[in-house]
Structure 1
Amino acid sequence: MPSHEGEDEAWLPPEIAVTVDLVILTLRASVFQVLLIERGEPPFQGSWALPGGFLRDAEEDIYDAALRELYEETGLEAGNLHMEQLAAYGTPGRDPRRRIVSVAYLTIAPELPEPVAGTDAASAFWTPVEQVLDHQVSLAFDHHDIVSDAVERARDKLERTPLATAFVGKSFTITDLQRVYEAVWGVSLDPRNFYRKVQGATGFIVPAGSERRTTAGRPARLYRAGTARTLHPPLTRPTPSAAPEEAR
């Protein structure tokens, strides 16, 4: 048993506040983007950060708090998107106000509209993910680490799960799906090779029974998400050195 100073005094746990942070990812004009806000209050007033906030009270569930913040920041509800808990971040000193643990959520939806800033944000805007990862955009707190973890989670899950369908609408073409993989992975993929791999992954996509007319060429066949929870075989992410070969 650990010993504490003052054996006669009952040990009390430290007071720790809990927040939620949202990494909201989408594709806009085939560009992989993340939602950021300009903080309207201290600390880091005027800095860019992820949307999020404190639990309202001791009775609010953490997931419910994430849903509330999501709706307040974007007007979106969980039924329209993919949402999963990413990780908890609690390094001492990560927030200058006090000891705060943040539970981060990864959220993905297709072609999200222009955001509206919440009550504690001066503005909200979409930013290319690569600008954050390359430190072209500085984020408050430890939000750069959170975005990096979320992006890597998304990139990894594209290999093993049908997560890519969360970036597109209910019906989509295989070309739409390829744009997701190329934007999220940051690579170019050969269309014929990609088509073969997608069609070979059992239950990944199924025909939607209709076509989309384009300005030139044959109408493109539409698909919808299948019932698979994992991809067999997986779609392996090409390494930077292998990407040119993959594109041939």
Structure 2
Amino acid sequence: MSDAFSHSDPAQVTIDGIRKAADLISGAVLKTPCLPAPRLSRLTGADVYVKYENMQVTGAFKERGALVKLSSLSEAERKRGVIAVSAGNHAQGVAYHAGRLGIPATIVMPALTPFVKISATRDYGAEVVLIGNTLAEAKAEADRLADEKNLVWVHPYDDAHVIHGQGTIALEMLEAQPDLDTLVIPVGGGGLISGMAVAAKAIKPGIEVVGVETVLYPGMWGAMHGKDVRCEGATIAEGIAVRD
């Protein structure tokens, strides 16, 4: 699997890279259904389809990018082990596939992470380090551990391999529903929408791509409009509550 991508990140995200990622994860990540959503269709007056990534083993799309990144590592890097920071979905995706591939994984999580996510991450075989009250504090400890133990970073979104993996969702959606004219995509760190937009626009240039953020964490909106925004507060959309 490690031959699918070079051991260093590609210079840019491409449709060819996303197609290679789709081949790489085939059989290891579920090709989830993209099905009609009658209630949402009635509420919106549109024909709405939902991509059921909650059916993945770890319950989220994050497995895709994590597996592509892990598969890109050299044998020497695999032996060194990997490190990630996450309060949940990315942690479980990295832990699960690192365990499958025999790669030691350390996951640093804020101390206030829900126990069910901590337990699941440990159950997949990762070493979990709990520290701090925020992802920023956890990241600082992860930086220290990465330097101390010479671990390889698996970033949740700022990595071309990860973005290629997330882009495979758009390939599957347009294969299942070629008539889709709009993709509505949640935005946290931006890895998901980046990969999906590249894939969708390459396949269907006229398709509209709409990013959605929670109003309490409008970081992407602020960046695109040149505005200073405040990102803080409690939200049920904790998976996209990203400060930067």
* TM-score (ref. length: structure 2): 0.23
* TM-score (ref. length: structure 1): 0.23
Higher helix fraction (1 or 2) = 2
Q: Which has the larger radius of gyration?
A: 1
